[in-house]
A and B are shown apart, each in its own frame.
Chain A
Amino acid sequence: MKTTADAVIIGGGITGCATAFELARNGMKNVVLLEKEYLASGATGRCGAGVRQQFGTRINCLMSKASVELFENLNDYLGFDGDIEFNQGGYLLLAHSEATMAQFAKNVALENSLGIPARLCTPEEAKEIVPHLNTEGLVGASFCAEDGHLNPFKVTQAYAEAAQRLGVEVRKFTEATGLIMEGGRVAGVRTAAGDLATPLVLNATGSHAPLIAKTAGVDLPIIGERHQILVTEPVAPLQKPMVISFQYGVYCQQTPHGSFIMGVGDPHEPKGFDQGHSWDFLHRVAEKIAWLLPPLAGIRIVRQWSGIYDLTEDNQPVLDEAPAGCGHFIAAGFSGHGFMLGPTVGRIMAAKMLGQTPPIDVSALNLGRFARRELVLEPSVV
């Protein structure tokens, strides 16, 4: 087994796998990816897998637009012999208040200026897009037909397989226990199965990122928050777009094989690493969805589970090297929308680690912003 690597990626979610692939694609020979469980065992495999370009910040619009372009051709780009199941049925964001509608108007203006084909809808237009939508109390909506959802397991697998074909070594069930620092620089990674010498590390461990960062002496202000989600029995195709309401904190999509996947946010969810579930979630989500999308009331729930949001104060990730020049790169803190950003984040982080200019300027997403109070607040999240 290798004991040295040019770069070590910690974390086998979308962020780690995409970055590992992009590093190898850009010529890095000796990359090792460490995953403490199996690939996509973290938030990636537990998420709603929605992909939208409708955001309130320029940086999120740019990153998600670039990701959608990649997702559209990802099967070919990665030489995947399966299908990532990208279903571009659109994203319908609902506004149940004038304030939200006003925010949507600002967002759509921004989105259109960046070439994202989103538009504002009246309740009637929203009902045309999703005929079973209950428009009671609806002020309006924002819709982008290019948005959609995909299969997060297949996407992760596609990246990991492509990376392995380019020589990346994927070590599953291998936990990184900390970084080895020498003279303020990364010298290696400790694992339960021995040390691995390397000058470059990507910390892509989602909600666990602060634990790794701490061993490099970095205080990373990310907290874990449980989010619950459920899947129903498969039924005939009924709903093409992802429907999402920021007011009610709910989102709901129908997968290609017919199951609905839906979740609801709750500020009272436990913080930390709890991946359990609660019965009142069932009541909350059922109550809201049955009101918002009435025909779904009769569909049976098959399973519920939970995942952990890696939350930051401004709902934006940290994409940075910290301390600067030390070789410890961080891509974490995605606050519930990191799956859709994955392909672009992979490119950005690979470029940063290779000392190249990233395709999108993400310098605003540096770690120091929290201390300096230069937050990049994203208003449009669940």
Chain B
Amino acid sequence: MSGGPKKYDAIVVGAGPAGLSAAAELGRAGARTLVLDRDTRPGGQLVKQTHKFFGSEKQRAGTRGVEIARLLREEVAALPAVEMWLNSTVLGFYSDRVITVERVKDAPGEERREWLEKVTAPVFVLATGAAERFLPFPNNDLPGIYGAGAAQTLMNVHGVRPGRRVVMVGAGNIGLIVSYQLLQAGVEVAAIVEAAPVIGGYLVHAAKVRRAGVPILTSHTVKEAHGREALEGVTVWRLDEKWQPVPGTEKYIAADVLCLATGLSPLAELLFQAGCQMAYVPELGGHVPVHGEDLETSVPGVFVAGDVSGVEEASAAMVEGHLAGLGAAARLGLVRDLAAVAAGWRAELASLRAGPSGEKIRRGLAKLAGQTAGMAASSPAGSPVSPASAPAASAPAAPPPATSAPKPGKPGRTLSPQLTSTGEPAASELESSLPPADRRRQGPYAVIECFQEIPCDPCHKACRTGAIGPFPDINLTPAYEAAHCNGCALCVAQCPGLACFVVDENYSPSEALLKLPYEFLPLPAAGHTVDLLDRTGALVGSGRVVRVVRSRSKLATPVVWVTVPSEKVGTVRNIRVPATKGGAAE
């Protein structure tokens, strides 16, 4: 009944960004490669990510996750050496390096079939990603309590709204992004609850949900959930400086959905089974395999890539996938000068991790490097793992020319407590984003409300006039020089953080024109009257839509031109299309 295992040159487990990138390298090198994924479509987490990605152009910044998944899929599909089995869950990694796979055929109209398959190869890339963490609190098993990623899958993959009113736990990027997508799906988000005193995710994401009216309660956590058959409400309470709950601060919030975005843990079971040396590194999400820069684990021929090697980002996952794929191909003798081929990717990875938002990862990798003593030489513990080629965050920019070229943002800038704890920029920060008064009167100018150092640069790529200068380090904040700006709003349409706006104070004697990004349906049409909202989502007036610009590129964000009473042009940052009006034009 049981035949022997099928043999390949290489096996990749997981068809997320990491696994697909690894498969692409292996396939290009000519290795007969099998890619396995338990899902029915390849792409991993990307298939549900309808938002635009950060990072640089190399990792397809400004592209939506789903689109990246499609591009990766096509790249791999074009390689004849690569075979992909979907609906195929890897169950075990055995000591003879055979892995068992549960395969399912579930075609409509056919009888469902399940069977066990065994495969083996001299090299493996394990890219199984990570799983969502759960929180302990009373009644956490009520229906209606989801991982944020699960809610995202329901909405964006299956087209099902998880409920009507959501409380989100966790103000990291996942909590913020999923909250925003829930709003886009027409679900009310009652609050985002975050135990830390500061918002962990990118502040541009926080600002986005904040101006849609969602309060972000930092230093708060869930006390308990309520409901009989299903969730009806949540009690939250405040935490003091020592993270202890403060009795008497309980707030009841009615909700039928509670989403937990409290972190991810690497899906490391197969690594344990393979006998890889593991280390517990909280900064990387938990138990991770000890590995060097070549992404090979302590078990020769077993490589890792992506979140399973340390929870990070899709951008890093792709680069790691390339490195692991190249390393595995080199092991097979299919890549000659690995060091030379890998150098570019290594530099890429180091630059992604160079800024302040990569600080945690660097710390985690340094800890891990401390464990690799005896394995391949790596950076000594305590120092960042970036090779010398990485642009250091503090590298001085080229000296500014005498003319008014945009000055790059200063690294290491401190953010106001108001911004980091609520997502609303402080007055001083807003002040700093405005051109001088005389320039403001001269015509339209951009306002870039991007104060935090994050690895992102599409605004520069979008700007044709040079008003937004190049980023000497992708982690710096944008350098904007109003003198060159013509108010074209291309940056507004391209910024994945929706942090760019264009203001024309001279539109009419009493009105200014605001060009803002708008990602909700229905889109308003010219002539419609819309509500004007401030940075907290509060109603501050009404305005008239002058134009809606939709670029031919699917990737661009629609830009709405709306009139705003002159005195409110510094306050208004969002619009709401009233239920009865607008939208008809769609």
Q: Which residues in A have some Cβ–Cβ distance to B below 8 Å?
A: 276-280, 282-283, 287, 304
Contact = CB atoms under 8 A, between A and B. Distances in A.
Contact of B2 (A276, A277, A280, A304): A280
A137 B95 CA distance: 36
A282 B101 CA distance: 12
10 contacts: A276-B94, A277-B94, A278-B94, A278-B95, A279-B5, A279-B92, A279-B98, A279-B100, A282-B100, A283-B1
B160 interface: no
Interface in B72-111: 92, 94-96, 98, 100
A276 B116 contact: no
Nearest to A287: B1
A357 B344 CA distance: 78
A282 B2 CA distance: 10
B118 interface: yes
A277 B99 CA distance: 12
A283 B95 contact: no
Contacts of B98: 279
A278 B96 contact: yes
Nearest to B114: A300
Given A277-B92, A278-B94, A304-B92, 6 more contacts: A277-B94, A277-B95, A279-B5, A279-B92, A280-B2, A283-B2
A283 B100 CA distance: 11
Interface in B1-26: 1-2, 5
B118 to A, nearest CB: 6
A276 B95 contact: yes
B311 to A, nearest CB: 25
Nearest to A304: B92
A265 B298 CA distance: 32
Q: Which 9 pairs show the lowest CB-CB distances between chains A and B?
A: A283-B2, A276-B95, A279-B94, A279-B100, A279-B98, A287-B1, A279-B118, A278-B94, A283-B1
A279 B119 CA distance: 11
A280 B100 CA distance: 10
A271 B100 CA distance: 24
**B interface, by DSSP: helix, strand, loop or mixed?**
loop
B80 to A, nearest CB: 29
**A interface, by DSSP: helix, strand, loop or mixed?**
helix
Contacts of A277: 92, 94-95
A287 B94 CA distance: 20
A282 B116 contact: yes
Nearest to A276: B95
A276 B92 CA distance: 11
A111 B2 CA distance: 41
Contacts of A276: 94-95
A278 B98 CA distance: 9
Contacts of B1: 283, 287
A282 B1 CA distance: 12
Contacts of B96: 278
A276 B98 CA distance: 13
A379 B94 CA distance: 33
Residue of A277, A279, A280, A304 with highest tally of chain B CB at under 10 A: A279
B574 to A, nearest CB: 49
A287 B116 CA distance: 13
Residue of B5, B94, B96, B98 with highest tally of chain A CB at under 10 A: B94
A353 to B, nearest CB: 39
A81 B96 CA distance: 44
Contacts of B95: 276-278
A182 B203 CA distance: 71
A278 B116 CA distance: 14
A279 B100 CA distance: 7
Nearest to A280: B2
Interface in B501-545: none
Contacts of A280: 2
Nearest to B94: A279
A277 B2 CA distance: 16
Contacts of B94: 276-279
Contacts of A283: 1-2
Contacts of A282: 100, 116
A265 to B, nearest CB: 18
A283 B95 CA distance: 16
A283 B4 CA distance: 11
Contacts of A287: 1
A284 to B, nearest CB: 8
A276 B2 CA distance: 20
A279 B98 CA distance: 8
A277 B96 CA distance: 10
A277 B272 CA distance: 13
Contacts of B92: 277, 279, 304
A18 B92 CA distance: 36
A280 B92 CA distance: 12
A254 B117 CA distance: 27
B117 to A, nearest CB: 11
